[in-house]
Structure 1
Amino acid sequence: MKRFQNPILKKSAAVFGAVLLSGCAGMQLDNARMVEPGGSAFSTALYKEYMALSELEFLEGDYKDSDVFALRAISAAGNNPSTPEEMSARNLPPANKGELATARRELVEALAATATEKASVNAAQAQAAFECWMQEQEENFQPDDIAKCRADYMASMKAVRSALAPAPATAAPAPAPAPKAPQRMAATYTVNFDFDSDSITGKASQIIAEAGMAIDEMQASTIILSGYADRAGSEAYNMKLSDRRAKSVLGALDIRSRKKIAESTQIKVYGEKNNKKKTEDGVREAENRRVKIEIIR
């Protein structure tokens, strides 16, 4: 049976809903529509990509993420493009963090090189597609959308890599066999410690978890753990403390990674030498109480 609808009540409800919406998220899209993009080709392309994402999320009723992308579009329009979104900004499923961490590192390295000049449009597409992938992976209920954003990122990064590849050398006589190429540093993580402590903090545990996933994802051949201390305390004591810190990280990594970490790990102990932040002797400095994790593939 068709129910009778009072037209006055229906109109009032529509007006009330519009009033509610005006006080909620989703209003940044109109602001982004009104700006005129300027600056570099990369910034202009990035504005267009973020606008497309903002429009799509708005149509799907995800006003919060629509605002996120709209604000990034406004920043790009002002020739101040944001860096790729940090992984910590999203509540990502643990199983997907390794692949996303690898993708973000590759993207950041390309942008820091010459991708914004040599492949401005593809670089902008890669950045937007990565953030789309992150956003859909956080929601984790639309597998087709996740797959599309991931595929868009892969295709854009392939074009970026091609643009950044060195030009092929002209034909020349066959060279003598080259020496074995040195191992390439794939990733570096830093774990900080509390004063006079070798205990793993909550924040340090998160960093170690990311490093463990990276080790598995990259099939690391070598892991180097370098232990440091600040200049409070004696030099001899700080050497021992640095060693304990490196071994604490090793133990935590051994739990986080499927790989047998101990078999491929080198521990280096520096104590209060080679400090990240120079201080006078006896000074406590949080940045110097650390273990550096270097992953080589």
Structure 2
Amino acid sequence: MKFLKTATALCALPLLAACASNWDVDGAKMAANDGSAFQKELQSEYSRLAGLERDEGDWADAKLFVGKALAATTGDVEPQMVADRNIPADKVEELAAARNKLTMAYAMGGKVKAPNAAARAQAGYDCWMQEQEENFQPDDIEACKKYFMAGLNDMSGEKAKASDDIIVYFDFNSSMLTDESKGLLVKASMMGRGANAVMVTGHTDTKGNAAYNESLALTRAQAVSDFLKAHGIMGKSIRVGASGESMNAVTTGDEIEEARNRRVVVSFK
């Protein structure tokens, strides 16, 4: 991670205790904030990003986002500059244009008119920048980008487009989330916060009894729902359902094991 300029600037801010609590996510989240609604929401958004990166073992980005959360308690914090990260050359123009759209929306009063959406947009943008610099998890890059776009659209008074579905897969006869699925669902939880409803639908392959598969599909969907709720999605916005073996992604005969059919589909409305 190449954050020397950013980290230095953040450590210079007053009330950050000389960056003594670089990775104190809970402290950043609970720090007193008498600022604007935008500042308070931005503190929450950056604290959440810090927690996600800490849980993934990305200490440099956890430190960065903790610093930005704390900085939000004393004043407005700007979205990161493209030059602050080593962005692939073919992505620089897209990210620079996105940042310009965000600052233009701010100039039009977006922080005051829609502080929650404005904070989501900025957090999504910085998340997008962070994932794009790493440039090895396309699903995570896309999730952060969509979170940014949803916030930007809400702030601008535009109707956000429905996000693409997110699909996680399961081992045979299992409802346990894999590490890969958890990583994807963490990013999905960001997207879901900007959605009106989150549809979670479980599926199985055709191996086994249809009634059993219906139950297994529901158990898988519930496992995904529980994970999303634990990562910030309001339970009242989640709709859990199951189709068992009746709506396969890949058409097979009966009693066939097929990994691509053992899935939960998360849709955003």
TM-score (norm 2): 0.49
Task: Tell which structure's C-alpha radius of gyration is larger.
Answer: 1
TM-score (norm 1): 0.45
